[in-house]
Amino acid sequence: MAYAGFRFAEKVIKASKGETGIVEPSFVYLPGVPGGDAIAKETGLDYFSVPIELGKDGVKEAKNVIGSANAAEKKLLEACYAGLKGNIAKGVEFAQLPPAEKK
């Protein structure tokens, strides 16, 4: 995990310095990035892991790889959405009200 974090941070730094064409997979808040709304609509999720193109000012575009998936891949992805939706809800709840603050 440390190497993955290093690799991603290295790519962000390169992009912030103006290097172009950097695409990295990332779990992102889809409505917050260009191209993410279409993926959110297709998956029914606000968060999903997709390749993102990094730019000097942050995320340039989320790449919609779901649209190019074949029928078998789409069927497998759809089986994951319900479970992922539950995990996302737990994560959002935790971020908004960490356990130490619950009463």
pLDDT reported for residue 103:
61
Q: Which domains does the chain have, with CATH numbers?
A: 2-97 (3.90.110.10)
Q: What is the pLDDT of residues 36-60, one digit of tens each?
A: 999 999 999 999 999 999 999 999 9
Band (pLDDT 50/70/90 cuts) for residue 9 is very high
Per-residue DSSP letters for 8-49?
HHHHHHHHHTT---EEEEEEEEGGGSTTHHHHHHHHT-SEEE
pLDDT reported for residue 24:
95
What gap in Å lies between CA 31 and CA 14, rounded to an integer? 24
pLDDT reported for residue 67:
85
Q: What is the pLDDT of residues 44-102, one digit of tens each?
A: 999 999 999 999 999 999 999 998 999 999 999 999 998 999 999 999 998 898 777 65
Global pTM reads 0.81
